[in-house]
Amino acid sequence: ILGMFSELKFPVPWGHVAAKAWGPLEGHPVLCLHGWLDNANTFDKLIPLLPRECYYVAMDFSGHGLSSHRPAGSPYHFLDYVSDVRRVAAALQWRRFTLMGHSMGGSVAGMFSFLYPEMVDKLILLENLGFLLAPEDTEAWLKSKRMVIDRLLSLEAKQQTPKARSPEAALQRLLEANRHLTAEGGAILLQRGATETPAGLVYNRDMRVRTQDRESLTVEQCVKLLQKIQDRVLIVVAQDGLLVPHKLNNRNRFVKALREAFESTLKEHIQLVEVPGSHFVHLNEPEVVSGIISNFLTAQTTRARL
């Protein structure tokens, strides 16, 4: 039964990467990647609605959920998350598999697909276009890099102990930070995203995750990279999510330009589907996207059409 799952742990040099798995071990492998500050529970409502013949593994990135935090003194580089995926694939002995990523997990899935195209048979991006936003100019790029270092050193200097909150306050804080989350969705994420202590709930995530160092790509590079894996990409965008063109402000011109490039250059080769819902549609209303994803997963042809 796909509602049942098992917990997995993969050893890494600084501890372990945690994951949860659904479905038959011998089924077609699907690796599921959560968004920034989220965890593997983001797929709890969706996976039971997907094809039963697949084996789904949803991992917690380092510093998230039940996975170990990175060693002291280390920032969280974007490529480290890509390395987490490579380590988990090696531990599972998967040579070729499907990648499904939500939000930041989609960016990680995209980058993994460009670096290891021979390992990815299909790519499913939920509320993500496969890339992180690039700063518009050199000064903005320099500022972002400096901020990563300064934030890391500031956090180290403070050495704050994680704040304990009542279950209600912990959920409230999560919902305030994620206006797209429902109370039910937030509670599901908290089950894996916080630990009970005598003083109250403490978030599991590493504070340093906020210092994440991003990779910058131009629109031209993005299109070129997507052409490497075209005909096996499904992108699901929510109408009230973070990527709808008419709602994007100037700061997100990059996303707008990328979507326009999709339309002109890759239209026949990449499926981009808009669905009603918010950034967390896969968690809040999984039935809205489950049919689209199921059809894509089960399509046999190289060009996996809906």
Q: Residue 58: which of 95, 86, 99 has the closest Cα?
A: 99
Q: Which domain holds residue 248?
A: 6-140+216-298
Confirm whether 75 is domain-assigned.
Answer: yes
Confirm whether 197 is domain-assigned.
Answer: no
pLDDT value, residue 29:
98
Confirm whether 157 is domain-assigned.
Answer: no
pLDDT value, residue 306:
38
pLDDT value, residue 210:
84
From residue 187, alpha-carbon distances to 7, 126, 166, 169, 176 in Å are: 19, 21, 13, 11, 13
Give the residue numbers annotated as catalytic, written as ranges: 103
Confirm whether 148 is domain-assigned.
Answer: no
pLDDT value, residue 220:
82
Report how many domains make up the chain: 1
Confirm whether 194 is domain-assigned.
Answer: no
pLDDT value, residue 266:
77
For residue 130, give the 3-state DSSP assignment: coil
Per-residue pLDDT of the chain (306 residues; tens, 9 = 90+): 566 899 999 999 999 999 999 999 999 999 999 999 999 999 999 999 999 999 999 999 999 999 999 999 888 989 999 999 999 999 999 999 999 999 999 999 999 999 999 999 999 999 988 776 666 678 888 888 898 899 999 988 987 788 999 999 999 999 999 999 999 999 999 999 999 999 999 999 999 998 877 777 877 888 888 888 888 999 999 999 988 655 555 446 667 777 787 778 777 788 889 999 999 999 999 999 999 999 999 997 545 443
Confirm whether 191 is domain-assigned.
Answer: no
The CATH code of the domain that includes 233 is 3.40.50.1820
Confirm whether 113 is domain-assigned.
Answer: yes
Residues 6+ apart with CB under 8 A from 129: 106, 110, 222, 235, 243, 255, 258, 259, 262
Residue 138 and residue 145: Cα distance in Å, rounded? 11
pLDDT value, residue 301:
53
From residue 121, alpha-carbon distances to 14, 38, 92, 148 in Å are: 30, 25, 16, 34
Q: What is the pTM of this model?
A: 0.92
Q: Residue 232: which of 274, 269, 273 has the closest Cα?
A: 269
Contact (CB, 8 A) for 35 and 281: no
Confirm whether 165 is domain-assigned.
Answer: no
